[in-house]
Amino acid sequence: MYYIGIDLGTSAVKLLLMDETGSIANIVSREYPIAFPHPGWSEQDPADWWAAVCDGIPALLDGFDASQVKGIGAGGQMHGLVVLDKNDAVIRPCILWNDGRTQRQVDYLNGVIGKDKLSRYTANIAFAGFTAPKLLWMQENEPDNFARIEKIMLPKDYINYKLTGVHCTDYSDASGMLLLDVEHKCWSKEMLDICGVQESKLPKLFESWQPVGTLTAEAAQTLGLPADVVVCAGAGDNAAAAVGCGAVGGGKCNISLGTSGTVFITSDTFGVDKQNALHSFAHADGGYHLMGCILSAASCNKWWSEEVLHTTDYAAEQTPITADKLGANDVYFLPYLMGERSPHNDPASRGAFVGLRMDTPRAALTQAVLEGVAFAIRDCVEIARAQGVKIKASTLCGGGAKSPLWREILANVLGIPLTLPQTEQGPGYGGAMLAAVACGAYPSVQACAEALVHAKSTTEPDAALVEKYNARYAVWHKLYPALKVSFAEMEALQ
């Protein structure tokens, strides 16, 4: 038997074929474009996602018996606003998670409606990337489009709709819309009133492992799959990655170094960050989690290497960064290339190199990029620690986790061991695992994780290096407050 995991990312969809033992039989990837119609804006055409899935799944199944595929599960980029009309046609391009156009709407929600009310209604406050502020932006700036809305969906939910014909979402992904009462796992009537949206325009809610339907005849024919393939609700990419890395059940942590960076802390019980700097969301295992999200992580290294240095040989750029240079870099980098979410909630913030001298070598800037992302991750960890959450170790996933140097830097910046899972395909693997649970192969998400997820290697922190990075972090941590006003002034000149 096989299960397909879909990782609907920001730059590409990664498709994974997993057998019943948890072994990965094949992986296929298909890229699609991102549009930046205005500085700080970020959009995609949902048709590109579906086209990539339709092209990728037959390639994924090439050489395999498609009749043995029993289930499909998706992990997807969160917060994106997909709106459909009465004919289920896409009304406008999806406004993505890293789009910063909604600052005025965020200010209205947090300042006029009030953070206390938002937290009471949804367990969270407004951030620029969340879905609800985007609905308010549409209402204000595209009233004709807003009036045509019949269904509001998230990116991976659109794929599930194309697969099954069912308008659905899961609790983990819905948590990031600022429309869900996370504690009680139902749509917040107060938030729907604030956004001028009827509950009938929202998809049906499911737990991540629950089946939402089977393939439509059209989807089955297009993909070359049996029509009785079960599709589960799936999860937001970070919750799916946590499942794929074994961060299931209370007291676990998973860190992702993908396009964005996340700190994902699991809990069996509902809880809210009193500072409202971390998100309080439902988890794909039926529990809850706190999550800090930095908008630019591995994407910072991609930008630096490819756009500035014009190279894709990341390893070569990191080779000169020898052990003696760790904890001794005098160049600092703020990784806010798309603004920042956790903990600053500031779409106007920008990237910056600080500390350059005439003799600063190229490698010092590369090192600063890796360290700057690690420091930003630590910002999120420190917020959790301030709430009394003890993080003694973490699993690690995402493209950035492939770098041994970056793993070493991050382990010492955080002062905790970081474990790579044997299978380094977080969201896609988690999606396939959720599909296996949906098909009855395992009685629960936790049982599935215990059976399938195994450690590959662990990077331990070094006490002396941890101390050096503590001092560097103390300096780095003061840079954003020092530049915050300047960032706002730059934004005003746009």
Query: What DSSP string runs through 112-173?
Result: IIIHHHHHHHHSS---TTSHHHHHHHHHHH-HHHHHT-SEEE-HHHHHHHHHHS--EEEHHH
CA distances from 306 to 271, 292, 311, 317 (A): 41, 27, 5, 11
**Total number of residues shown for the chain:** 494
* Alpha carbon distance 318, 173 (integer Å): 35
Ligand-binding site membership of 289 (annotated): no
Q: Are 94 and 257 in contact (CB under 8 A)?
A: no
**Tokens read off for 50:** 């579906």
Backbone φ and ψ for 405, nearest 5 degrees, come out as: -65, -45
Confidence (pLDDT) at 109: 98
CA distances from 454 to 20, 157, 372 (A): 15, 29, 30
Catalytic residue, chosen from 157, 237, 285, 346, is 237
* Alpha carbon distance 156, 15 (integer Å): 13
Confidence (pLDDT) at 40: 85
Pairing of strands 235-236, 69-76: parallel
Confidence (pLDDT) at 39: 87
Confidence (pLDDT) at 345: 86
Residues of the chain with pLDDT under 50: none
Closest CA to 10 of 276, 260, 277, 302: 260
Confidence (pLDDT) at 275: 83
Closest CA to 43 of 81, 91, 76: 81
What value, to the nearest 5°, has the Cα angle with vertex 178 and ends 162 and 438? 40
* Alpha carbon distance 316, 319 (integer Å): 5
Confidence (pLDDT) at 461: 98
pLDDT in tens, 438-476: 999 999 999 999 999 999 999 999 999 999 999 999 999
What value, to the nearest 5°, has the Cα angle with vertex 173 and ends 170 and 179? 95
- How many other β-carbons are positioned within 10 Å of the β-carbon of residue 259? 23
User: What are the structural domains of the chain?
Assistant: 2-245 (3.30.420.40)
Our answer to whether residue 237 is catalytic in this structure is yes
* Alpha carbon distance 322, 334 (integer Å): 22
- How many other β-carbons are positioned within 10 Å of the β-carbon of residue 486? 12
Backbone φ and ψ for 151, nearest 5 degrees, come out as: -145, 135
Confidence (pLDDT) at 1: 95
Query: Looking at this protein, which amino acid is placed at residue 97?
Result: W
* Alpha carbon distance 349, 340 (integer Å): 6
408-411 CB contacts, 8 Å cutoff, 24+ apart: 408/326, 408/459, 409/326, 409/370, 409/371, 409/374, 409/469, 410/255, 410/257, 410/374, 410/377, 410/459, 411/459, 411/460, 411/461
Ligand-binding site membership of 358 (annotated): no
Pairing of strands 94-95, 168-170: unpaired
Q: Are 259 and 11 in contact (CB under 8 A)?
A: yes
* Alpha carbon distance 481, 485 (integer Å): 8
Confidence (pLDDT) at 147: 98
pTM (global) more than 0.85 = yes
* Alpha carbon distance 41, 416 (integer Å): 36
Query: Looking at this protein, which amino acid is placed at residue 222?
Result: T
